[in-house]
Structure formats: C-alpha cells, structure tokens
Amino acid sequence: MVLQMYQLTLIPICLYVLYHLYRYHKLSVRRKDFPPGPTPLPIIGNLHQIPISRPELRFATYAKEYGPITGLQLGSHNMIVLNTWEAVHDLIEQKGGSYSSRPKLAVTDVIVPGGLNPAFNKHGELWRKQRKLMVEFLGGDRTDAMKPVQDAESTQMIYDIMFAAENFEDHVLRSFGSVILETVYGQRENTFKPGGKLARFFEVEEEWAAAVGATASPPIQSFPFLESVPDWATPWKGWRRRAAKVKKAQKGLYLGLLRETKERLAVGKGVDSFMARCLKIQDKEWYDDLYLAYCGGILMEGGIETSASTTMVFILAMAAFPDTMKRAQFEVDTTCGLKRLPGKDDIPNLPYVRACMLEVLRWRPIIPLAVPHTTSAEDTYKGYTIPTNTDVIINAWNIHQDGLFFQDPATFNPARYLENERGGLPRTPAASEYKGRKSVYSFGAGRRVCPGQRFAENALIISFAKLAWAFDIEPTGPLAIDTWDDWTDGLVTRPKNLNVRFKLRDHGRRKVIEEAWGELTCSCVNMKMEWSNMAPISLVL
C-alpha cells in the first residue's frame, strides 16, 4: 500500500518532467529562417559547444564556417553572434531601437534588483535616465576637465613603480581606481592598502564575478522552469544565498560611499564630483539614494578594471615587442625632452602612443565579446529572422582578426593606425566604403556603447606615454603572447603573472619623476574647480 502511494506521487512528477523535456525539445529545434550555426542537440541545443573559457575562439571558427552571423540555440533561448563590422553596423547601430536591451539574468536580478545597475538594465525609461546622467558626466568637455586627475594619478603610478616595481599590478589598479574615486566621489586613495576602499571594492567585485560566472547559477535563461525548482534540488545549491551575500556587500559599499560623499560635502570637500552634482539635483529629479549609489557603483565597475587590464596588455606588448617600445620612447622623448614627463597637453603630439593604445585594444580586446545586447522586437536581416529576446553578441575578437581588412591581423603592429585611421590595409578601398567602421570594437557599439570611451582613452594615452618615458620593460621569462594559459577568464580578461621587469631608463629620469610627484602635492591644491578640496597627494612608502 505504502509503495502504491509512493508510485502515485511519482506520476505527476514524471509527467511534469516529460512535459518540460518535450517542450524544450521543441524549443531547441532551430527555426528554418534563423541564422546558420552548428547543429543543436535535442533539449540543450548548442550549450555543450560553447566553452566557458575563451568562447571567442570557438565563435571565430564558427564565423569561418557560417559567415557574418552565427545562430545558436541555448536550450530554449536564441543567441546570434555578429562576426563582421557590417553586421554590427546594420543591426546594433542602425536599428538601435530594437537591439539595445540586455539579457535578463536571474543571478544579476538577485544581486541588483529593480534595474538599479545601468549596465545590465533593460532598454527603457529608467536606463535612459541613468545613461543620461553618465553621459553628462563622461561626455564632451567634462572628459577633458578630468584630465588633470588622470595626469596626477599616472604620475603617482610611475613613481610607485619606480620604488616598488614588484607590485606594479597594484600600482596600476590603484591609479585607475583613484581616478574614478576622485572624479565620481571627490576623494582619492593614495595607497592600495588592505581594508581601504579600493581593496574592498575589488573584494566585492571578485565575489560578484564568482556569483555571475557561467557555471555558478542555473541556466534559467535557457531553461526557465529551473526558476521554480528549489535551490537544494539543483547542482547549483546555495546560489541564491551566495548572490544575496554579494548584494548585501555591494549595496553596503555603494551606499557607504554615497554617505561619505555627503559627509565630506557638508564640510566643503569634494564639491564638484559626479556624485556632488547628482546630489544637487537629487530632489528635483526624484533620484533616491539607492539609485544614485548604484550609478556611482557602476562607474567604478565599468571604469577601473577595464582600464587597468588594458594597461596590463600594453605592458605585455612592450616587453614582448621591444621595437615598438623603442619607437614609443623615441616619440615621447622627442616631444617632451628629458627634463619633464609627458602629460595631458602632449596627447595631440603623440600619434604613435595613441596608435599603440588602439593596437592594444585591437590585438587583445579585454572584453572580446563586449557585453551582450538583447533584441526587444523581431527583425529580419539578409533573409534571416531574428526573434524578440535573442541575445546579440558583438564578436569584437573576430572583427579585429579580419585578414581582409587588417594586414597580418595576428601581429602586434601599432603603425597600422598611422597609415589608416581604422588600422586597415593601405590598399583597402575608398574610405567611404568603410563609413561607419570603427577603429576598434573593444568599447561595444550602438546605444549601449561604452560611455567612458573618451575618458578611458585619455587616461590610457597619458599612462602609456609616462610608462614609455620612464622605463624599459623587459621580459624575465616566457610571455603569454601566443597562449591563453596566463590570462584570466571572465567578462573582463587580462594577462596575469606577467614576467616583466621595469628598468628606469637612466638616472636623470628618476629626478624628474621625483620632482613631478613632489610638485603634485602643491599643484593639486591649486587645481581649479573640484580638485581643490581633495586629500593632498602623498605617498606612504
């Protein structure tokens, strides 16, 4: 009798499972008019074919086989990968109204509910408001007004490297981190100390990356029924609890920074930061504290690791390709001489350093597949149907490796950007044919394109010029230029365990760096506008 009851309860469960298996089997079948791609398996579709590590390499092989757009089935969910700049231009840029949303991920919904994170928010009124705030802060002349801070922090970066080169990664992270802390919150961090704001931020970022990692939570987007399966009954046991822990830490950090900004403003400090301006219009615009706290937080999330990782690629490339380093050094020496450091006013006179920056972004884009977009309406393109809610991936990696446009695309060659502003072969047809083609796709495209691009480019050129002026960067062991073993995985990637040595180019430069750093302490007080109220620059060695 007991056995019969047990069997009876099993029947609805089996029916439930069979129903979903049948449903997902039907949904995982490729539509005839969907863009071509590898053959999907029943139920899971192409999920098994997408590697967790460096998926862009697999997508590049699909690009060769299937052409400009690859169509993939991820369980019941659709994804397309745009492999050419034309496809990005025609869809993401020309049809921004329906190609600018973001995928809905259960784990990010737990960590940042209510669309508070502008970078992951769906296309709509709230995102537009958030984006406007960020663009007003990062766009146009405002970006140039922030160059003195980038200049000052990059001077401290090379000063720090000169004295403690073994911690160069920390110095790079601190420099870009402090730029964001200053411009967003009106305060700085002069050392990368345990328990400090930047250290706390990176701890939370690490927890966030672990919680949103590809295998850390159930693929609810591909199999929505998993949403209603109890946590304990899945292989991802505890994922909601882990996500809630990240939410608490992140919210605490961002609200804490906002609270500190208010306290500092009350005593007249940090008066012209992004947050100070947001607080001025808070009541008029109906921004609540949580909303503002996350707008500040996303600028830290978007602006620090990306710029620091790009600088790591520059350091790798300079060590691996000494001829390019020598050419960059020749340019900065000729422009600035030996008695002063290159700085913000030299940017227009450093075309080769700028070309190095573009080539670093092209050669090893640190976000090789950008951030996924999602369609908010059905569309047709070149005879294919792209349904609503399809994830759209910009395959920046593949676009940057296009041998028809770039000569020897695998080679690191900054000079390509001197010969052609988009880096293309000199024999490429008239520029008009490439109207709309970008120099690099590392900042994404369309309405979601990185709002910090110009801000980041300024900081990178200034930092690269100073590094080239001050140091020879030499290999001390194998360098990860043809292998991915020593690269991190995740949305943002970078080379790790870099086997390099920084050698001051000559003794005279040491004096110049020390003096430049010393002067910062004074000139910072005189920096007009917002910077006058910041903590003075000083280094605890």
Binding-site sequence positions for heme = 450
The interface region with ligand HEM, picked from 153-161, 210-218, 245-253, 294-302 by CB under 6 A, is 294-302
- Who's near 229: CB < 8 A, 6+ residues apart? 218
Q: In whole angstroms, how close is the CB of 444 to ligand HEM at the nearest point?
A: 2
Number of residues forming the site for ligand HEM (CB under 6 A): 29
Residue 285's nearest CA partner among 123, 112, 130, 114 is 130
Residue 497: left (phi > 0), alpha (psi -120 to 50), or beta? left
101 interacts with ligand HEM by CB under 6 A = no
Closest CB 119 distance from ligand HEM, rounded Å: 4
The CA distance from 392 to 383, in Å, is 17
Length of the chain: 541
Interface with ligand HEM, residue 493, by CB under 6 A: no
Q: Which stretch binds ligand HEM (CB under 6 A): 104-112, 207-215, 305-313, 533-541?
A: 305-313
Contact string (CB under 6 A) for ligand HEM, positions 152-181, x = contact: ----------------------------x-
Q: Is 414 in the site for ligand HEM (CB under 6 A)?
A: no
Interface residue with ligand HEM, options 108, 310, 374, 439 (CB under 6 A): 310
Please tell me whether residue 150 binds ligand HEM under the rule CB under 6 A: no
Looking at residue 439, the DSSP 8-state letter turns out to be S
Lay out the site mask for ligand HEM across 216-255 (x = CB under 6 A, - = otherwise): ----------------------------------------
Q: Does 115 bind ligand HEM (CB under 6 A)?
A: no
Enumerate the H helices of 281-419 as residue ranges.
282-285, 289-320, 322-336, 351-363, 396-400, 416-419
Look up residue 346 and give its two tokens.
């030299």
Residue 444 touching ligand HEM (CB under 6 A): yes
SS3 labels along 173-237: HHHHHHHHHHHHHCCCCCCCCCCCHHHHHHHHHHHHHHHHCCCCCCCCCCCHHHHHCCHHHCCCC
Asked whether the beta carbons of 379 and 98 are under 8 A apart, the reply is yes
Q: Does 103 bind ligand HEM (CB under 6 A)?
A: no
With tokens 């830290």, the residue in question is 300
Backbone angles phi, psi at 141, to 5 degrees: -65, -25
Residue selected from 30, 77, 89, 131 as contacting ligand HEM according to rule CB under 6 A: 131
Smallest distance, Å, CB 228 to ligand HEM?
A: 29
Q: Which stretch binds ligand HEM (CB under 6 A): 49-57, 334-342, 370-378, 418-426?
A: 370-378
366 touches ligand HEM by CB under 6 A? yes
Q: Which residue, 119 or 473, has its beta carbon nearer to ligand HEM?
A: 119
State in angstroms the smallest separation of the CB of 267 from ligand HEM. Answer: 26
Out of 201, 291, 455, 471, the only residue in the binding site for ligand HEM (CB under 6 A) is: 455
Among 306, 395, 420, 458, binds ligand HEM (CB under 6 A): 306
The minimum distance between CB 350 and ligand HEM, in angstroms, equals 17
Residue 105, both tokens = 């991920």
Q: How far is the CB of 361 from ligand HEM (least distance, A)?
A: 7
Long-range (24+ apart) CB contacts under 8 A made by 140-147 are: 143/454, 143/455, 143/458, 144/458, 145/529, 146/179, 146/183, 146/455, 146/458, 147/344, 147/458, 147/462
- Does the protein bind ligand HEM through residue 398 (CB under 6 A)? no
Give buried/exposed letters for 465-485 (b at 16+ CB in 10 A, else e).
bbbbbbbbbeeeeebbbeeee
Maximum pairwise Cα distance, the chain: 94
Work out the number of other CB atoms within 10 angstroms of the CB of residue 20. 16
Is 450 a binding residue for ligand HEM by CB under 6 A? The answer is yes
119 contributes a contact to ligand HEM by CB under 6 A: yes
| 43 near ligand HEM, judged by CB under 6 A | no
* x-or-dash string of contact with ligand HEM, 322-361, rule CB under 6 A: ----------------------------------------
CA–CA separation, 453 vs 443, rounded Å? Answer: 7
Task: Please tell me the distance from the alpha carbon of residue 520 to that of residue 178, in angstroms, as a whole number.
Answer: 15
Distance, CA of 94 to CA of 87 (rounded, Å)? 10
Instruction: Using CB under 6 A, list all residues that contact ligand HEM.
Output: 118-119, 131, 134, 138, 180, 298-299, 302-303, 306-307, 310, 366-367, 370-371, 373, 442-445, 448-452, 455-456
